[in-house]
Amino acid sequence: MPPIKRLKTMKTSLFIIDAFTDQAFHGNPAAVCLVDPDTDDAWMQHVAAEMNLSETAFLYPLDADLWSLRWFTPTTEVDLCGHATLAAAHALRHELALANGPMNFRTRSGILTATSVGTAISLDFPGFIAEPVELSAAFDAAIDAQTTAALRAGAHLILVLRDAQTVVSLNPDLDLIRRLTARGVAVTAAAAADSRWDFVSRFFAPAVGIPEDPVTGSAHCSLGPYWGKVLGKAQLTAYQASARGGEVGMELLGDRVRLLGQAKTVVRGELCA
């Protein structure tokens, strides 16, 4: 194995931050690392595997108000991650005091902007339109439920189920999901009529090392436009019904989606490796 380049000049600050929640041990935990610009990709992947969270975010400054941001699962780098971007913005603003105004991130999905809105953070993300797709009956077997619609949007499949309780009670076959698709699979349904949410979802991506993601910001870049059209709404609130649970606000703005969420720091430290 080739040697892994270590950081040379910058203390490697590390935070673990629960995103899309205002309570510790809820929402989706992301690790956030402040690194040197020449940090080796292999080192970042090793750190992400060590953290063993859905995503670990790596940040370094490019300009006064521009940061490089990359996201790694335990097994691979990904193109877009909402909860780790929210965690990174929270770290810059509330832990490192390195940003006062809007925070701009250069990423594999272009420039993304995070802005404080009261106690929450708004993320300006690309929106993805869901298009109907034909899937084999094996997908119904994989999620152990009958879909009413199947769509593809961005990097995700969306499987629409008959009601919110079906989504909450799913016990999917994760090995079969992994063999059926390398993409993430979002299952979703309209929320109950008396709910304060518009829709609920869960998200599975075992092919990239994430059996079930607690709260998936990037999936709401497609779920938001889908449910916005179905419900005739431009502002929505959703609940991701994982064991940890989390809430995502959305505002639909043409081909962009603003995601709104809170975050809570649970670990502050630094890496020694």
pLDDT at res. 5: 52
Residue written as token pair 């009529």 = 193
pLDDT at res. 1: 47
Rounded distance between C-alpha atoms, residue 122 and residue 109, angstroms: 17
Sign of CA dihedral 179, 181, 186, 190: negative
Rounded distance between C-alpha atoms, residue 183 and residue 218, angstroms: 13
pLDDT at res. 7: 45
pLDDT at res. 123: 98
What's the pTM value of the predicted model, to 2 decimals? Answer: 0.92
pLDDT at res. 97: 84
pLDDT at res. 99: 78
Dihedrals φ, ψ of 195, to 5°?
A: -85, 155
Q: Which of 241, 269, 261, 267 lies closest to 19, judged by CA?
A: 261
Rounded distance between C-alpha atoms, residue 164 and residue 57, angstroms: 31
Rounded distance between C-alpha atoms, residue 127 and residue 145, angstroms: 27
CA 195 from centroid of its chain's CA atoms: 23
pLDDT at res. 166: 97
pLDDT, one tens digit per residue, over 156-211 is 899 999 999 999 999 999 999 999 988 899 999 999 999 999 999 999 999 988 99
pLDDT under 50: residue ranges of the chain: 1, 7-9
Rounded distance between C-alpha atoms, residue 25 and residue 254, angstroms: 34
SS3 sequence of the chain: CCCCCCCCCCCCEEEEEEECCCCCCCCEEEEEEECCCCCCHHHHHHHHHHHCCCCEEEEEEEECCEEEEEEECCCCEECCCHHHHHHHHHHHHHHCCCCCCCEEEEECCEEEEEEEECCEEEEEEECCCCEECCCCCHHHHHHCCCCCEEEEECCEEEEECCCHHHHHCCCCCHHHHHHHCCCEEEEEEECCCCCCCCEEEEEEEHHHCEEEECCCCCCHHHHHHHHHHHHCCCEEEEEECCCCCEEEEEEEECCEEEEEECEEEEEEEECCC
pLDDT at res. 154: 77
Residue written as token pair 């889908």 = 226
**Burial class for 31, CB neighbours closer than 10 Å (0-12, 13-18, 19+):** buried
Domains in the chain, please, with CATH? 13-125+260-270 (3.10.310.10), 131-254 (3.10.310.10)
**Beta carbons of 223 and 257 less than 8 angstroms apart:** no
Active site residues: 55
Phi-psi region of 104 (alpha: psi -120 to 50; beta: other; left: phi over 0): beta
